[in-house]
Chain A
Amino acid sequence: MNRRKFIQLVSHGLLGAGLLPRIAQAAAADDKRRLQFVFAQIKYRGGDWNPHPLAVTPLMEELMARTSVEADDARHEVTLIDRDLFNYPFLYLTGRYEFEPFSQEEVENLRRFLSYGGFMLIDDALGQQGYGFDKAARREMQRVFPGNEFKRIPPGHASLRSYYLLRRIGGVRIISPTLDGISIGSSMPVIYCQNDLGGAWERDQTGKWTNACTPGGEAQRRDAFHLGINLILYAMTENYKEDLIHVPFIRRRLTQ
C-alpha cells in the first residue's frame, strides 16, 4: 500500500465515523451573525483535494479572535464549475498529489474569477517541488494564465503586512522561506505556499495539533496562522496597506 492509498483510506474511515467537520453553509439565512468571510476550498478530480479536513476551523477561530472579521468557522467546499463559486471570493486549493487537469470550463471560470477580484491561496501539503501537487498546481496555473509565471513575493509585499508584520513563512515544514505569486496589474490574485499551511492549522477533534511543525515547532505553527490571517485580510483589503498613509508607520515598526 502506498502512502496515497493509506491517506485515502484514513480519510474514508474518518468520514464513516462522522468525524469530518461539518460542511459550512455560507451565509445561512437564519444565522444572526452577518458572515463577512467564508473559507471556500476547491474540490478537484484526482489526487487528494482534502489532505487536512480539520484545518479550517482553527484558522477561522483564530481569525475571529484576532480580527474584526466575522467568519464562518467551517469551510465551504466548491468546485470550479459550481454556480455559487463567485459567492466566495476567497478560494483555497490544496493537496498532496498530482491531480487531473481542470476542464476547459474550469480553467476559464478560474481565470475569470481571479481576473475580476477573486483570490486563491494554493497550499502544497506534500512539499516536494516539481512533484505531485506542486507539479499539477503549476501546470494548471499556466493554463489559467499562460505565460504569467509564479514569481517570488518580495518581503515588503502587502500580503505580508496586511495584519501581522511577517518576517517568516510558517507551515508544517519549511520547504520555501518565501511565497510565490502571480500578478495581474497591481494586484496578486494567486499566492502559493509550499510549506503545508493547512497541516500546521489542523487540530483533531480532541483539540490536539494533528501535525508537528519542524524544525521551528510552535513558533513555526504560529507563523502559519499569522500568514493565513494575513492572506485572508489581503484578499479582503487588497493592497490597502500599501496606501501612503500606512507606509511611514509600518516602516517605523519594522525598524523597531
Chain B
Amino acid sequence: MQDFYLIGTLPLWLITLATIAIAALLLLQFLGLRQRLPLGQTIFLTLLRAVVYAGLIFFLFGPALIDRKTTKLRRPLTVLIDSSQSMGFPADPQAPVGEKTPPSRLDAVREKLTSGKEPLIEKLNREYDLRIARFGTSMEPIAPGSLAAIRAQDRGTRLIELLQAAARDGAAQSAILVFSDGIANGDRKSLDGMAPLSVPVFAVGVGQTQGFSDVRISKLGAPEFAFRGREFKIDLTVQASGMKGKTVPLFFNRGKNLITSRPIAIDSDQFEQKLTLAFMPKELGTHAFSVSIPAQPGEQIVPNNHKEFKVEVQRDKIRILTLSGSPAWNYRFLRMALKQDPLIELVSFVFLRTPTDTVDVPESQLSLIPFPIDDIFLEELKNFDVIFFDDFSHRAYFNPVYLDRVKDFVRDGGGLAMLGGTRAFDAGGYGDSALREVLPVELDGKGAFETRGAMQAALTPAGKAHPITRLLSDPKANEEAWRKLPPLTGINQIRGVRGETLLTAGGADGTSGAPLLAIGRFGKGRTLALMTDDAWRWNFIAVGNKETPQNHLKLMRQAVRWLAQEPSFEQVRLQPIPASQPGEKTVIKLRVLKDDFTPTREASIQLRVFGPEGEPIVIPIAADNEEGEYAGEFTPTREGTYRVEAEASLGGKVLGRDKTSFTAAYSYGEADDGLPRLDLLKQIAETSKGEYIPIDDWNDKALERIAARLESIAPSEIIEQRQIKLWSNVWPFAIMLGLLSVEWWMRRKWGLI
C-alpha cells in the first residue's frame, strides 16, 4: 500500500512568497499578451504558463509516495519456575486433610501450565520466543515438555539474584514470567538498595498467606564441636504464623533423651522468639542433638518443627585421675609435672590415712574426704583419659570388683599407668586382680618391692626410639641424658614384660638389668608400668646435681600424652574449624607446643588455605590471648571445601605441621519458613513495570493482559516503509517541458516570436 505525503522542507512563507511572485508574473504576462493578441489566445497562453508555475509550486511542497509493509515479531519470553523445596508445601493451606496428599505449590503451577485443551505452555510457546528454566539455588534450562519431571528439591531459592541474571541475559524487549511462592533466601532477601530490573517481570504468586498456619524452628546456631565438661549454648529462633493464642512445648534432646523443655506462648500472628539453650557434655565423641516442637493441629508444614545437629565433644585437656597410696615425694613431683602442663587437668586422691591409723580428733576436724568409690568407678571413670595407680593398693580401700571397671575403661580406649612402690604390682595384690591381664607386665603374685643400692636406668633398643623416653631429639644426646639421670633405690620385681620394655634398671646397659619401664596395649587403650617409686629423684636429685628437672617433667608429660593417645604427640594442632558461609569471616586457631610440650608465643607460623580449586592463600596469623595459641582470619568467597595447612617453627627448627579442612556453604533454611512471600513478588513486578498475578487469577485473559502490557511498553510489530519522491521522477518535468514547448510553438504561430 502506498500513501501520498507532502514532505517538503521549505518554509511555508517562502512558498507563499514564491506563489505571490508567480501570480504577479502571470498578471504581467496576461496584460502584455492582451495588447498583442485577442483575449482567447491571451488566456490560453497564460493558462499554459500558469499550469507550469502551479507544477513548480507543487513541487516546492515536496510531494512523495510512501510504501508501508508491516511485520509481526515473536517477543522473547523467559518463563522461570521455582523448584525449591518450599514449592513442595501444600498450595492451599486450608485444603482438607485426607489420605491423599494435597496438591503442592509446584503441582498448582504444573496444573496451570499443562492442563486444558490447549495447554498454556503450548500457547506461550507459539506466541513467544519461549525460554523455560527451573530455578532454586541455580537456574537450569528445561524443555517445555519436561514440566512434569520438575521436583521441588532445591535446598534454597536465590530468587532475586537469578531474576537479575535472567534479566541480564534476556534479549531486548523481552519479559520474564516467573512462577514462585516468593520465598527468597539467597544473598538477597529483599529489593532494598537494588536497581529495578531491566525487563518487566510478570510474577505469578503460588500459595496463600491467608489461613497459613505453621510453627517452626529457624536460625539454629549450634557449635560443631564443644569441650567436655564445658557448657555449650545453642541459639534458636521459634517463628509461628497464624497460631496466635497457642502455647506449644519445645523439646531439647540428646538422642532420645530429653535434656530440657520450654513452653512457648505464641502471642501474635507473625510470632518470633529467640531462645538460648545450654548443655554441658560429659562424654567424648560425636553426639546427636535435636530441638523439636510437636506437630500442631491444622499446621501446614511439619518438617520445620524439628531440627537436628551434631556436636563433636572433644577434650580441651587431658583429664587424669591419680590414686596415690600415701603422701610421697613421687606424688609431689608427679603432681608438679602434671600441674605445670596447661594441657592436663588433674584430679588427685591421696590416701592420707590407712584403716589402721587412728586419729586424736573428731572426723569433723580432718580434711579427709571419703573416697567416692561408686562415683569414680561407676560414673566418672569414662570422663578421664588416663588413670595413675601411684604406689596404690586397692585392697584396703575397695572391692576388687571395681577394678573390672578400670579394665573396661582401658579396653574402651583409656590409659592406665601403674607406678611402683610397696603397694604396687604384686606387692599391691594386683597379681590376682582384673588388672593382671591389662598391665603390660606379667605378675605371679610373688614379686616384691626391693630396695637396692643405686640403680641406673638405661634405654632399651625400643626405648631409644619411643617418644615417651625421647628426652632429646638427638639419639646420642638422649642416651647421654638418660645416663646422667640420678640412680634409683627401689624396684618392683615382676615376672616378665608382656608389652615393650623401654627402660631397664641395674644392668650394664639396656639389654640387661630388671625391667623398669614397660608399655603395652589392652583393647583400644594403652598401659604403662613404671616399676619404681623413685622417679622423683630424676627431678629433684638432678636439680641438686646442677642438672635440669626437665627430663623428669618431660618423661611424665610424654607418658601422659602417649597414654591419652594424643595424635602422635603433635606439637602443632589446628583446632577444628566450624563450617561457614561464603562472605563470613572464619577464625583459624592453632596451638603450638615446644619440644618439652609447654606452649610458646615465639613460634613462627606459616598458615595457608587452599580454596575449592586448590589455589593457595597465605593467611597472616598472630599469637592469641591464650599462651601457645595463634589465630588468623579468613573469609571464604564461594561455596566449597577449603583445606588448611599450618607449619610452626621455633629458632629455625620445625616444631610440626597440621592440616584440616572446613566447608563453606550457604545456609538457605529453605524448609524453615514456608510462608509465601507474595508481597515480594508484587514488589518485583511493580518495580520492573510488570504485573503481579495470583495463580488463581491466571487464565487466557491474564495472558492477553500481559501481551497488552508488553505492547504498551513496546509494540511487537515492525513497520517497513519506502519513500518515493515525486520530484526525483522525470515525468513531471517532461510534462512541464511539454507545456512550455506548446506555449513556444503557439507564440511562434501567432507571430509573437
Residues of A within 8 A of B (CB): 27, 29, 31-32, 34, 36-37, 65-70, 83, 85-87, 89, 112-113, 116-118, 161-165, 222, 226, 232-233, 235-238, 240-241, 243, 245-246, 249-250, 253, 256
In the complex, the answer to whether B539 meets A117 with C-beta atoms within 8 Å is yes
CA distance A237 to B549 in the complex (A): 18
Would A68 and B327 be within 8 Å (CB), given that A86-B543, A235-B332, A253-B367 are in contact? yes
Give Cα A112–Cα B327 distance, bound, in whole angstroms.
23
Contacts of A69 in B (CB 8 A): 326-328
Interface residue ranges of B52-106 to A (CB < 8 Å): none
19 A-B pairs with C-beta separation under 8 A: A34-B451, A36-B326, A37-B328, A67-B352, A67-B357, A68-B354, A70-B326, A112-B544, A116-B549, A117-B539, A165-B364, A165-B365, A165-B366, A222-B360, A226-B361, A237-B331, A240-B350, A241-B367, A253-B364
The answer to whether residues A240 and B335 also contact, given A67-B327, A233-B352 and a CB cut-off of 8 A, is: yes
Minimum CB–CB distance from A189 to chain B (whole Å) comes to 12
B409 at the interface (CB under 8 A from A): no
B533 near A: Cβ within 8 Å?
Answer: yes
What is the CB-to-nearest-CB distance from B752 to chain A, in angstroms, rounded to a whole number?
A: 142
Q: How far in angstroms is the closest Cβ of chain B from A247?
A: 10
Q: Are B366 and A238 in contact (CB under 8 A)?
A: no
The answer for the CA separation of A86 and B369 in the assembled complex, in Å, is 32
Task: Tell me if A68 and B325 are in contact (CB < 8 A).
Answer: yes
Q: Name the distance in Å between B353's Cβ and chain A's nearest Cβ.
A: 6
How far is A99 from B217 in the complex, measured between Cα atoms in Å?
79
- Measured CB to CB, the nearest residue on chain B to A249 is B369
Q: Which residues on the A side are within 8 Å of B325 (C-beta)? A: 68
From residue A28, how far is it (CB to closest CB) to chain B in Å?
9
Q: A240 contacts B348, CB within 8 Å?
A: yes
CA distance A43 to B451 in the complex (A): 28
Q: Are the CB atoms of A165 and B347 closer together than 8 Å? A: no
Known: A34-B422, A66-B353, A165-B365. A89 touches B332 (CB 8 A): yes
Cβ–Cβ < 8 Å partners of B348 in chain A: 237, 240, 243
A residues less than 8 Å from B540 (CB atoms): 86, 89, 116-118
Chain B residues in 8 Å Cβ range of A89: 329, 332, 540
A163 to B329, alpha carbons, bound, how many Å? 17
- Whether the Cβ atoms of B357 and A66 lie closer than 8 Å is yes
Q: Is the CB of A164 within 8 A of B352?
A: no
Cα–Cα, bound, A245→B400 (Å): 24
Give the total number of A-B pairs whose CB atoms are below 8 A apart. 128
Chain A hits for B328, CB < 8 A: 36-37, 69, 236
- How near does chain A come to B326, taking the closest CB pair, in angstroms? 4
Query: What distance in Å separates the Cβ of B556 from its nearest Cβ neighbour in chain A?
Result: 13
Q: How far is the CB of A243 from chain B (nearest CB, A)?
A: 6
Contact with A along B335-369 (1 / 0, CB 8 A): 11001000000111011111001111100111111
Partner of B332, one of A161, A226, A236, A245: A236
B333 beta carbon closer than 8 Å to chain A: yes
Knowing that A27-B489, A66-B353, A113-B544 are A-B contacts, what are 13 other residue pairs whose CB atoms are under 8 Å apart, sorted by A's residue number?
A: A27-B451, A34-B449, A36-B326, A36-B327, A67-B353, A68-B353, A69-B327, A83-B544, A112-B544, A163-B352, A164-B366, A233-B352, A236-B327
Q: A34 to chain B: which residues have CB within 8 Å?
A: 421-422, 449, 451, 490, 533
Report yes or no: B452 in contact with A65, Cβ–Cβ below 8 A.
no
In whole angstroms, what is the CA distance A20 to B522 when docked?
A: 56
CB distance from A235 to the nearest CB of B (A): 7
Q: Write the residues of chain B forming the contact surface with A, with a CB cutoff of 8 angstroms.
A: 325-329, 331-333, 335-336, 339, 346-348, 350-354, 357-361, 364-369, 421-422, 449, 451-453, 489-490, 533, 539-541, 543-545, 549
Q: Are B354 and A256 in contact (CB under 8 A)?
A: no
Q: Is the CB of A163 within 8 A of B368?
A: yes
| Alpha-carbon separation in the docked complex, A66 to B356 (Å) | 9
Inter-chain contacts of A240 with B (CB < 8 A): 335, 348, 350
Query: What is the minimal beta-carbon distance from B147 to any residue of chain A, in angstroms?
Result: 67
Minimum Cβ distance to chain A for residue B87 (Å): 56
CB neighbours of B533 from chain A (8 A): 34
Q: How far is the CB of B425 from chain A (nearest CB, A)?
A: 14
Once the chains are docked, how many angstroms separate the CA of A243 from the CA of B453? 36
In whole Å, how far is B718's beta carbon from the nearest beta carbon of chain A?
88
B489, A163: Cβ atoms closer than 8 Å: no
Contact yes or no, A237 B327, CB < 8 A: yes
* Contact indicator A66/B336 (Cβ below 8 Å): no
Residues in B whose Cβ lies below 8 Å from that of A161: 367
Residues of B within 8 A of A65 (CB): 357-358
- Pair B352/A68 contact, Cβ less than 8 Å: yes
Question: A68-B357, A116-B540, A245-B347 are known contacts. Are A36 and B366 too (CB-CB below 8 A)?
Answer: no
What is the chain A residue whose CB lies nearest that of B346? A243
Selected contact of B359 from candidates A66, A87, A233, CB within 8 Å: A66
> Which chain B positions have C-beta within 8 A of A117?
332-333, 336, 539-540, 543, 549
> Smallest distance from the beta carbon of B35 to chain A beta carbons, Å?
144
With CB as the reference atom, state the residue of chain A lying closest to B489: A27
Q: Complex: how many Å from CA A68 to CA B332?
A: 15
Contact (Cβ within 8 A) A236 B359: no
Residues of B within 8 A of A226 (CB): 361
- Chain B contacts for A250, CB-based, 8 A: 367, 369
B-chain residues with CB within 8 Å of residue A36 when the two chains form the complex = 326-329
A163 close to B366 (CB less than 8 A)? yes
Q: Nearest-CB distance from B230 to chain A (Å)?
A: 14
Give the contacting residue for A237; candidates B332, B360, B421; CB below 8 A.
B332
CB distance from A114 to the nearest CB of B (A): 11
Q: What is the CA–CA distance of A66 and B354 in the complex, to the nearest angstrom?
A: 9
**B361 surroundings in chain A (CB, below 8 A):** 164, 226
How far is B549's CA from A83's CA once the two chains are assembled, in angstroms?
17
